[in-house]
A and B are shown apart, each in its own frame.
Chain A
Amino acid sequence: GENVEQHPSTLSVQEGDSAVIKCTYSDSASNYFPWYKQELGKRPQLIIDIRSNVGEKKDQRIAVTLNKTAKHFSLHITETQPEDSAVYFCAASIGGATNKLIFGTGTLLAVQP
């Protein structure tokens, strides 16, 4: 079946450094790739997304890149701040015509002040 692999499972960085989280998907028909941030006990919040017709998207300190050929997509956070500490999930749409998502296993990001 379809799956999404996410690495690393935990990531600790110093405040001001960059953080990179990588995901690999298996369904070649996937065409939508969102990233969610989830703080402890709270709902996942969409932070950025990318569609398959775009290779890169940036929103202030956050950027996402997509390599369709390799079925890889990555989240880049620059100038990290303590409030960036949370669990980050990548996801990929299943099939070309549905809005159903399959999620990665999550990355716990800790930004040390």
Chain B
Amino acid sequence: GAVVSQHPSWVICKSGTSVKIECRSLDFQATTMFWYRQFPKQSLMLMATSNEGSKATYEQGVEKDKFLINHASLTLSTLTVTSAHPEDSSFYICSAGKGYTDTQYFGPGTRLTVL
């Protein structure tokens, strides 16, 4: 199989606080993990590519100091939304790739609401 989990599935926080989202590959080692953001009724927007043991590569327009990504092991990547504001409210989804193949397997997503 290729199972990817995310935690938490939903979170509500106050403006100005930081939120950490975890993405885990449960039954395989993920050399690369990806973080996406999805607004209602819209497509998946790639935020960053995360490789184990190295710094994440951010897409144009994504603030790296705002969205901190850590890929400490082959099965875990974390996304921390720092000093969250209401405009950061969104559905955040991670995906993981098996080795160097192209196929990406998605986590269930985390719905973040910032009040």
Binding site for B on A (CB under 8 A): 1, 32, 34, 36, 41-46, 49, 51, 89, 93, 99-106
What DSSP secondary structure best describes chain A's contact surface? strand
Contact status of A99 and B101, CB under 8 A, knowing A43-B93, A89-B43 = yes
From A41, A46, A101, B105 is in contact (CB under 8 Å) with A46
Chain B residues, Cβ within 8 Å of A101? 34, 46, 102, 104
Q: Do A105 and B43 touch across chains, with their CB atoms under 8 A apart?
A: yes
B107 and chain A: residue at smallest CB distance: A43
Q: Do B108 and A42 touch across chains, with their CB atoms under 8 A apart?
A: yes
Question: What is the size, in residues, of chain B's interface with A at 8 Å between Cβ atoms?
Answer: 21
Chain A residues, Cβ within 8 Å of B109? 41-43
Most-contacted residue by chain B among A99, A101, A105 (CB, 10 A): A99
Chain B residues, Cβ within 8 Å of A104? 43
Q: Do A103 and B101 touch across chains, with their CB atoms under 8 A apart?
A: no
Q: Do B43 and A32 touch across chains, with their CB atoms under 8 A apart?
A: no
From B34, B42, B46, B102, A32 is in contact (CB under 8 Å) with B102
B99 and chain A: residue at smallest CB distance: A99
Least CB distance, B69 to chain A, in whole angstroms:
14
